[in-house]
Amino acid sequence: MYDTIIKNGRWFDGTGAPSAMRHLGIRDGRVVTVSAEALDETGSGRVIDATGQWVMPGMIDIHTHYDVEVLLDPTLSESLRHGVTTILLGSCSLSTVHVDGSDAGDLFGRVEAIPRKHVVGAIDELKTWNSAHSYVNALEALPLGANLAAFIGHSDIRAAQLGLERATRPDVKPTEAELKAMEHKLSEALDAGFIGMSSQQLLFDKLDGEVCRSRTLPSTYATTRERRRLNRILRDRKRALQGGPDVARPQSLVAMAASSLGIFRPNLKVSLLSAADIKAIPGIVKIFPLIAKILNGLGGDFRWQHLPVPFEVYSDGIDLPVFEEFGSGAAALHLSNQLEERRELLSDENYRRWFRKDYDKKWGPRVWHRDFFDAEITECPDESVIGKTFGQVGVDRGGVHPVDAFLDLVVEHGTKVRWRTTISNHRPEVLDRLAADPSVQLGFSDAGAHLRNMAFYNFGLRLLKRVHRAQQSGRPFMTVEHAIHRVTGELADWYDLDAGHLREGDRADLVIVDPAHLDDTLDAYAEHPVPAYDNLSRMVNRNDATVTAVLVNGDHVFGRGEKSPTLGKQRTGRFLRAGHR
């Protein structure tokens, strides 16, 4: 007798092995039978006919910022509905293990574009923990929808130990006692089953709030000695470092990547942000695989994180993180809470000269290509500009500089001017090469953050669409089995998690995909309110015909866009501890 039978589906086990038509029997949250013969359905609780569909392990999202949302809506259904059954928290040096509500608001509010008041309110009202162990217990007391795993955030540890103000001052160096306390916090997190630590050196990630506003994240102030001491613990425990190097300082990238090397010490698992085909620097995409090949050839264990879809972003006015990478843009975002002052700033001719100078600077490391002719207006009270680029609006207005055309509209309409551009991953052939590169980990969705800027909750399905279409056209760049392995078992194995596989004895975390609906609906964006954030309209993906069923721990939680009645009422997901496969 089985709790659930899935019959007649094409089964993928998550290892990259050839797929086959199989029948699966599930009992007590595990796959107990994978059979070429039909199973006896007598007494089974649920029978799912997967004829013509793919039965595969649930996907793993290795880079999210659900740390606050999971407290308010533990289902995390925006990811679950697209077949993601395991979600990693604590990216970019940010976690909510040690900091209080105010500091968490400063850390998450501006960097991840999550409304600060909701971050502060959630932590102040719901925090019951004071250590990594009690944090895990608190998560497991929630009616989780998906499985969770977590990094401990370097900025979280540092801010909690030094205080946010001291932790973000370049003249403050932690004492020996403070360093040992940070080491203890990291060790305790690893004891609790965390997969490692995330750290950040990127200098255009800025703090929110008033006390330390516009300072960079606490981890960016860490000394080399501090980083080495924390990395030593990760090495000894064989846990991972997720890093974000400073794109303006190549030495930062080299140092973080090279930390993977062992030589006279254990090597270190390092996963860095991020391999991308950046429009602003098209040649750099050739450098990523080369760096990884050299480091891994010397005995390192190094990976790049990569979003395997075009990186298309939207912005309401000037509220987009890429403006943080140059001085005039950061000055405007510094005034995000003083809208009248911001409007005055954007109207000032001296400021505009400064912005034009930054805009016209085409050389040097950067993320945004800074081309307002490649920025389409999608919404505006002035309907005559919708569908045009800011550059074209400037031409129509008698040759106005693109920067002035942009600023004029933002001054007049504020956040009601909505526009979009694609920053990277715009060339399909380059995307295909990166997706197949063994030094690349597929993920980096940023799910739960940048709610008005982007939506990549279904990145895994979009990868499968591209792979499936290439195979159908006779120009495959990888097999479907390999693609599924890349977003499931490969990630689970590297992070040492009990997930990502679908063999006898494995967890029954799985998704059933209809390949006939791996279509263009996957590329469209929609909007949906977030009740926990005062119904703020969030960008989402809606391709409900593609995923016909999602099971977590053997329980049916989603299918065809519909939640199970029990989702959010009982716990289906678990906190997955590293090393407990």
- Condensed to tens digits (0 to 9), the pLDDT of residues 191-229 reads 999 999 999 999 989 999 999 999 999 999 999 999 999
Residues with Cβ within 8 Å of residue 251, at least 6 apart in sequence: none
Helix, strand or coil, per DSSP, at residue 130: coil
pLDDT at 365: 78
Q: Order of strands across the sheet with 418-424?
A: 311-316, 418-424, 376-379
Helix, strand or coil, per DSSP, at residue 56: strand
Residue ranges of the chain with per-residue pLDDT less than 70: none
CB 342 within 8 A of CB 351: no
Comparing CA positions, the residue from 137, 223, 175 lying closest to residue 577 is 137
Rg for the chain, CA atoms, rounded: 24
pLDDT at 128: 97
Measured CA to CA in angstroms, residue 551 lies from 86, 147, 170, 381 at distances of: 11, 11, 48, 44
The encoded tokens of residue 425 equal: 């991953």
CB 314 within 8 A of CB 378: yes
How far apart CA 34 and CA 157 sit, in angstroms, is 44
Q: What b/e string do you get for 330-343 counting C-beta neighbours within 10 Å, with b at 16 or more?
A: bbbbbbbeeeeebe
pLDDT at 443: 87
pLDDT at 116: 96
The encoded tokens of residue 6 equal: 């899935």
The encoded tokens of residue 4 equal: 């659930």
Helices assigned H by DSSP within 240-286: 250-258
Q: Locate tokens 């933002």: which residue? A: 410
How far apart CA 86 and CA 223 sit, in angstroms, is 33
CB 5 within 8 A of CB 25: yes
Residues with Cβ within 8 Å of residue 503, at least 6 apart in sequence: 13, 14, 15, 31, 34
CB 140 within 8 A of CB 77: no
CB 234 within 8 A of CB 197: yes
The encoded tokens of residue 273 equal: 């942000």
pLDDT at 338: 86
Looking at 278-406, which runs of residues are DSSP E strands? 301-306, 311-316, 376-379
